[in-house]
């Protein structure tokens, strides 16, 4: 089969020095979408604005959906989404980010879904803790990994596959974060593009772990070696490196672009005077410790006011709002914002790996402040 599929499914590659975004990358960018940055204003991202990345097709779910829990368990399960809704429900507010966020800003650019900085969103996910389901099924004492299989099917780098990811048993059974098998997003059934009818939610981890269209959970006594663990989603400098797995979300802050945009360049326009800068910051790696803002392209930094975590419910894994005040003067400016967590801060300089993963390099936002007399007609 490799020969047939090899024709259409080449190896991973890096763009050439002057190579613009290709037709293939564009086809992914028109299907998938980021969070329009002005939507950072919402505590919880409204449906349709949360980022979406689908490896293959969005499956067409029908009433016959069943989730199986098997492998190294004493009591295999086969349940409907309605069966899951009969368990005590847990709702958690979670910021999710694509592991490839920032990829298209790398040089050389890894050719894949070409995200800039917008592959993020925050939702309230409702479901059953995974540990409750694994307890119900009775995971065996020799269990090592828990493997999650989605209904999305396709080819990647010549390998035909269902989308599959795994978690180590201790993460799968953990309470902080508590992994969910979710059936609702923001209080409504999951939309098709977010995994209808069931998906995994792994708070603090990049999006690849949150398996959508979940149809099987298999407890395994051996480490999982599937494509999405051993080929994709590893941090490598060279193609033959073993590489480190991509896991938790590195810290990042983003800005609600101030003023108003130019349609084509997306440069922002403001008028002289006070401008409230605001945005969101998050980390899945360690608790946030602060956010800083620069209005001179990163030459100097001032602390922003970082709101406490939302007091309502469990929001340790959700972004936090920050704000800072700026007095704009006429001319060209570059705004920047960076988050720091207990393990460090966002890099200002190059950060590169062949897959283009976890690039949390500081966002730079050009702003033109008009002269005071440049009033609209």
List binders of its own copies among 200-259 (CB under 8 A): 257
Contacts with its own copies in 156-185 (CB under 8 A)? 156-157, 160
Whether 84 and 67 have beta carbons less than 8 Å apart is answered as yes
The DSSP bridge pattern shows strands 67-71 and 214-220 to be: parallel
Per CB under 8 A, does 58 bind its own copies? yes
Pick 32 or 315: Cβ nearer its own copies: 32
Closest distance between its own copies and the C-beta of residue 185, in Å? 10
Closest distance between its own copies and the C-beta of residue 373, in Å? 8
Size of the site for its own copies (CB under 8 A): 75
Per CB under 8 A, does 60 bind its own copies? yes
Pick 19 or 342: Cβ nearer its own copies: 19
Pick 77 or 155: Cβ nearer its own copies: 155
Structure tokens at 282: 């998050």
Per CB under 8 A, does 52 bind its own copies? yes
Pick 28 or 67: Cβ nearer its own copies: 28
Per CB under 8 A, does 286 bind its own copies? no
Buried-exposed string 262-285: b where 16+ CB fall within 10 A, e elsewhere: eeeeeebebebeebebbbbbbbbb
Per CB under 8 A, does 112 bind its own copies? yes
Among 86, 305, 371, 372, binds its own copies (CB under 8 A): 371
Among 66, 78, 266, 276, binds its own copies (CB under 8 A): 266
Pick 10 or 287: Cβ nearer its own copies: 10
Closest distance between its own copies and the C-beta of residue 115, in Å? 6
Contacts with its own copies in 116-135 (CB under 8 A)? 116, 118-119
Whether 163 and 24 have beta carbons less than 8 Å apart is answered as no
Return the SS3 of 209: helix
Whether 134 and 174 have beta carbons less than 8 Å apart is answered as no
**How far is the C-alpha of 19 from the C-alpha of 47, rounded, in Å?**
34
Whether 338 and 85 have beta carbons less than 8 Å apart is answered as no
Among 80, 230, 267, 289, binds its own copies (CB under 8 A): 267
Structure tokens at 212: 């959508």
Burial classification of residue 176, based on how many CB atoms lie within 10 Å of its CB (0-12 exposed, 13-18 middle, 19 or more buried)? exposed
**How far is the C-alpha of 284 from the C-alpha of 279, rounded, in Å?**
17
Closest distance between its own copies and the C-beta of residue 348, in Å? 19
Contacts with its own copies in 325-364 (CB under 8 A)? 332
Among 102, 114, 177, 356, binds its own copies (CB under 8 A): 114
How far are the Cα atoms of 35, 145, 220, 267, 334 from residue 223, in angstroms, in the given order? 35, 6, 7, 47, 46
Q: Which residues, in sequence order, are bridge partners of residue 340? A: 290, 345
> Which of 122, 120, 125 shows the shortest CA–CA distance to 92?
125
Per CB under 8 A, does 39 bind its own copies? yes
> Which of 123, 360, 97 shows the shortest CA–CA distance to 207?
97
Pick 28 or 133: Cβ nearer its own copies: 28
Contacts with its own copies in 136-155 (CB under 8 A)? 153-155
Closest distance between its own copies and the C-beta of residue 313, in Å? 23
Pick 177 or 355: Cβ nearer its own copies: 355
Per CB under 8 A, does 89 bind its own copies? no
Return the SS3 of 171: helix
∠ at Cα 55 (50, 56), nearest 5°?
Answer: 115
């Amino acid at each position: 089969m490799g020969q047939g599929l090899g024709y259409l499914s080449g190896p991973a590659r890096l763009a050439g020095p002057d190579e613009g975004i290709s037709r293939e990358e564009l086809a992914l960018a028109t299907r998938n979408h980021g969070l329009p940055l002005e939507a950072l204003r919402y505590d919880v991202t409204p449906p349709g604005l949360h980022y979406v990345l689908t490896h293959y097709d969005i499956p067409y779910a029908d009433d016959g959906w069943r989730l199986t829990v098997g492998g190294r368990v004493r009591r295999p399960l086969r349940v409907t989404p309605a069966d899951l809704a009969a368990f005590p429900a847990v709702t958690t507010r979670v910021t999710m980010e694509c592991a490839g966020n920032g990829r298209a800003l790398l040089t050389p650019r890894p050719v894949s879904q070409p995200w800039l900085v917008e592959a993020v969103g925050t939702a309230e996910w409702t479901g059953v803790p995974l540990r409750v389901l694994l307890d119900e099924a009775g995971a065996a004492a020799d269990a090592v990994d828990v493997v999650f299989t989605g209904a999305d099917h396709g080819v990647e780098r010549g390998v035909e596959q269902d989308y599959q990811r795994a978690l180590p048993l201790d993460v799968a059974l953990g309470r902080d974060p508590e992994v969910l098998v979710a059936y609702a997003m923001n209080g409504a059934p999951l939309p098709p593009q977010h995994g209808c009818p069931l998906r995994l939610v792994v708070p603090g981890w990049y999006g690849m772990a949150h398996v959508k269209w979940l149809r099987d959970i298999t407890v395994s006594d051996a480490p999982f070696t599937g494509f999405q663990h051993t080929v994709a989603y590893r941090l490598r400098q060279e193609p033959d490196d073993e590489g480190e797995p991509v896991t938790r979300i590195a810290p990042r802050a983003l800005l609600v672009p101030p003023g108003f945009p130019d349609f084509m360049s997306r440069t922002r326009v403001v008028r002289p005077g006070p401008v409230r800068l605001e945005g969101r910051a998050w980390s899945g790696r360690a608790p946030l410790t602060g956010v800083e803002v620069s209005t001179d392209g990163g030459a100097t930094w001032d602390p922003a006011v970082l709101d406490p975590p939302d007091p309502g419910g469990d929001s340790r894994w959700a972004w936090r709002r920050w704000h800072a005040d700026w007095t704009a003067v006429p001319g060209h400016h570059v705004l920047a914002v960076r988050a720091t967590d207990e393990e460090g801060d966002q890099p200002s300089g190059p950060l590169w790996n062949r897959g283009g993963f976890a690039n949390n390099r500081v966002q730079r936002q050009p702003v033109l402040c008009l002269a005071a007399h440049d009033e609209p007609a």
